[in-house]
Structure 1
Amino acid sequence: MSMGPWKTAQELESAFYDGQDRHILSFDNPESFAFAIIDKTRPPSSDDSDGELAGTISYINTSVANLSTELGFVVVLPPYQRSHVAVNAAGLMLQNAFDSRDNGGLGLYQVHWKSSISNPASFRLAEKLGFETVGMTKWHMRFPKGATKGKVGNGRVLPPGSDPDDIWRDTVELSMSWEDWQNGARDKTQTAMSR
């Protein structure tokens, strides 16, 4: 993604609360809302009495008219990667998205997931939860000077006139509908979260 990478909770907090990425937390933007991921299997910390800050996850590109959203800005800090944290955070977001409003959920009908082709862990997580691939967008995002920030691109020759430090991302698009959720994705998500 265009932001990060962050190696510590302090770097992540600084980017969101003090820095350039503050717009993600804007309460004036009804299309996006960020959540902190707290690992409750860890002891209480100075940041949270329930555990340790392990990352962040958001609903983005939300459409009230279409009853849809996207899970995005999924950031799991290095000490929590390859653990239960990402699958449980994303699973809880899906449960909340698809649960009816009568049950305290959002009552949505569609949830999207977009993943860089250079981030197979993100793609595998989405598939593990029951998302289905619906397509790929080549040259989807440009990260100006991304090479100087350690970004990984699509691996292709840059378009004519590009800055040699620019990085481009190809994006795999995945989707899950309420129908998918009812017909097996909910069980798949619960199985993944129970491991």
Structure 2
Amino acid sequence: MIDKTRTPSPGMPASQADLAGIIGYTLANRTMLSAEIGPFMTLPPFQRTHVTTHAIGLICQYALDLPSQGGLGLRRLQYHTDVANALSQRVAQRTGFQLEAVLKWDRVVPADRESHNGIPLREGDAKPGTLGRHTVVMSLCWEEWEAGVREKLLQQMERRI
């Protein structure tokens, strides 16, 4: 993600001033016309700015718009996040994603990770010293996209420039 609205500080190369984070698609499936947003991370200087809304808006637009509109014509986008990451969940909801499920014990994560949702270690576990993660699954499908989410998200993007 590149923020084209900021002017680099004196002595700072433009690439360092503009780099705002990363976003992409993962688990893309052409046969099923679906993809997941990820990896996704907004760097701290750009958090709580227009950058996240714009990045999600652009990636949703490209994925869910029909090929005649310049998009991929996917039917479904997924957004997965840690159940403890309330901020990420709010961003997804604000941009039109809807809660579908919580996948319990979905991921194995290192034990030194900051957030482990209070999930206890399991005595005798096959992967000792690791924690589990519960994952929130959210989705945005073509019918919601075409029924108003697209316009709402484009309006949010306009307001945040």
Common fold: TM-score over 0.5: yes
The match for 1:155 is 118
Contact 1:128 1:192 survives alignment (8 Å): no
Q: Which aligned pairs between 1:93-104 and structure 2 lie closer than 5 A? A: 93-104=59-70
Q: Report the Cα offset of residue 165 of structure 1.
A: 4.2
Is 2:121–2:129's contact at 8 Å kept on the other side of the alignment?
A: no
1:11-90 superposed matches below 5 A: 37-43=1-7, 46=13, 48=15, 52-90=18-56
Cα contact 1:152–1:167 (8 A) shared by 2: no
What is the match of residue 34 of structure 1? none
Q: 1:189 aligns with which of 138, 153, 161?
A: 153
Q: C-alpha separation between the residues in 2 aligned to 1:69 and 1:62?
A: 4
Structure 1: distance between partners of 2:83 and 2:156: 22
How many residues align structurally?
Answer: 155
Instruction: Tell me what 2:109 maps to.
Output: 143
**Is it true that 1:106 corresponds to 2:69 in the alignment?**
no
Corresponding residue number in structure 2 for 1:7: none
Alignment RMSD (CA, Å) = 2.0
Q: Which runs of 5+ in 1 are unaligned?
A: 1-36
User: Judging changes above 3 Å, is the alpha-carbon distance between structure 1 residues 79 and 165 closer, same or farther for their aligned structure 2 residues?
Assistant: farther
Residue 142 of structure 1 and its aligned partner are, at CA, apart by 0.8
Gaps of 5+ in 2: none
Secondary structure of the residue aligned to 1:188 is helix
